[in-house]
Chain A
Amino acid sequence: MGGYGSAPRALNDSVLTVAENIKLTEKIFWMSFDAPELAVSARAGNCVFVYPSCGNDPMLGRPFAAADADPAVGRISVCYMVVGRGTAMLSAVKPGERLKVRAFTGKPYPEGAKELILAAGGVGAGAVLLKKKERGKSAKLFIGIPGRGYEAFAEKILSLYPDAQIYTDDGSFGRGNSMFAALPRPLSAEKELWCCGPLGFFDAMRRFYESTPEHLYYILEKRMACGFGGCMGCVVETSGGPKRVCVDRAIFRADEVDLHDN
């Protein structure tokens, strides 16, 4: 592709049947679609646009990371939080209903270091779960959540990855009230940490790994309109120039982006 830039191969819109839409917390849901072909081709880093409406309003799809893909049952899944009108509409969808989906956008993540630590705050888990599946035991999974009210969320993750380490802010369950007591230091070329979560979570990671930002990676989300690299709505400014989260990459070294100036 060289200088042409990149747009995802085989991206297309289709109408898929919702297999499940499980409420995991007051605001976080797990939605699965019957999609045998996508379940086979999904890679960690891929993204799915889910459209709350097939009409004009709301017009845009909601971009979510592919959180799981199970070729055996022919399903792909996303984990989303209700933050506005569109996601509220999605939360009311019943299994068996059909939704328009744009897939796949998002460039697959790189392989990563020999030892990979995946750390997520809340719904950010959706961006790292499929990587955990791809890497198996060579990736450690740390999840931080508020605590009470997130029991079903934690159970969902543990049902997929029993070795996941869950931490709760209120200490009501899990392994303690902070993953930072257990996260290994220092990072190195053989031991990277990839994280996804709210801005405060990224900031805490940056402080915790202050001496090795080159081995700390942020997985970012941005508002998107097209998902195929056309609209430039999801651009992140990096030390290497502007990058589109939808097609260039969603993962950035901590020392190449300023999250407070993007």
Chain B
Amino acid sequence: MTIDISAKVGTVELKSPVIAASGVWPYSEEFWSGEKLDGVGAICTKAISLAPRRGNRGIRLWETQAGVLNSIGLQNTGVKKFIENYSELVKNCPVPVIANVVMEAVWDTQETLRMLDGVEGIAAAELNISCPNADGDGMAWGMTCASAAKAAAAARKIWNRPLWVKMTPQTPDPAAVARAVEAEGADALVCSNTWLGAAIDMASGKPVFDRVVAGLSGPAVFPLALRVVWQAAGAVKIPVIGCGGVRSASDCAGMMLAGASAVEAGSAFFADVNAGKAICAGLPEYITRYGKKRLSDIVGLARE
């Protein structure tokens, strides 16, 4: 029996449900074609802001129990250089490319989206209203319904292609924020970004990170992310993408049973560069277990 593991997020069609999350996939030919894309349904670019960002100083990574804290700080070349350097990669990529856009000041983000509108091959924009690493930017936008709605509306005004909004798990009411973003015209929700954490270096007795706080990802956060997916998927009609600690076919299928239409995997690629392929290989077992032939048939099955 042929099992169909393709997925669909609104109008964006994916040959597999595993999307490389923003911040892990390098801009290099080897990773944008050929075997490295086996099992990868789409690529989210690294964060794109209007102006270049140098990123955070000091230690940027700290491993934790079944996870990793990161404080990269949205390092990127800015949208102008992104277009100059990577337009050809995007255009020739065999899987959909999702442009991850930093929600900065409204005008800045709108300008970034205007510039990206000229890039052929971008399947959707993923608006980052949740990054915990930038002073006063991403964190604030996703915390409340009002500011999340304002961010989504600002992007929607400019961007006519599919608009995904990547939520912050720090918000006290994910369902309400999800509804607010949906009401402003978002086409999908990504649930969610990293979880704010911190670490003390026991050798120095001081915080590891210059900014003290950092974003936690990895298998440790999977149950937390699954809970956000459940809450958001129960609150909106637009597709939800599960993101947070997805490492295995079981995790992927679990997110989809909870209502996700696809998943994003990030740190899974740190542990296994072929994580997309490995996850896809295990999916048919979970689809047939519930008497289905298509992955899309198990979306939300746990809610019935």
Binding site for B on A (CB under 8 A): 1, 3-9, 11-13, 51, 56-61, 86, 102, 223-226, 228-235, 237, 242, 247, 261-262
Contacts and interface: CB of A to CB of B under 8 A. Distances in A.
B61 A223 contact: yes
Contacts of B23: 230-232
A246 B9 CA distance: 34
B120 interface: no
Contact of B273 (A1, A12, A56, A231): A12
Contact of B28 (A1, A235, A261): A1
Contacts of B196: none
Contacts of A237: 54, 57
A59 B85 CA distance: 32
Contact of A233 (B61, B67, B219): B61
A223 B208 CA distance: 12
**Interface majority SS on B: helix, strand, loop or mixed?**
loop
B89 A233 contact: no
A6 B28 CA distance: 6
Contacts of B247: 56
B86 interface: yes
B54 A242 contact: yes
A112 B20 CA distance: 38
Given A225-B267, A230-B46, A233-B60, 9 more contacts: A56-B219, A56-B247, A57-B219, A224-B61, A226-B26, A230-B25, A232-B75, A247-B26, A262-B57
B: interface residue count bin: 35 or more
B243 to A, nearest CB: 16
A233 B70 CA distance: 8
A233 B267 CA distance: 12
B57 A261 contact: yes
A58 B269 CA distance: 14
A7 B219 CA distance: 26
A225 B68 contact: yes
B60 A229 contact: no
Nearest to B275: A13
Interface string B19-36: 000011111111100000
A4 B269 CA distance: 20
Contacts of A225: 61, 68, 70, 267, 270
B82 to A, nearest CB: 10
Interface string B96-129: 0000000000000000000000000000000000
B1 interface: no
Interface string B45-88: 01000000011010111110111101010010000000011100
Interface in B156-215: none
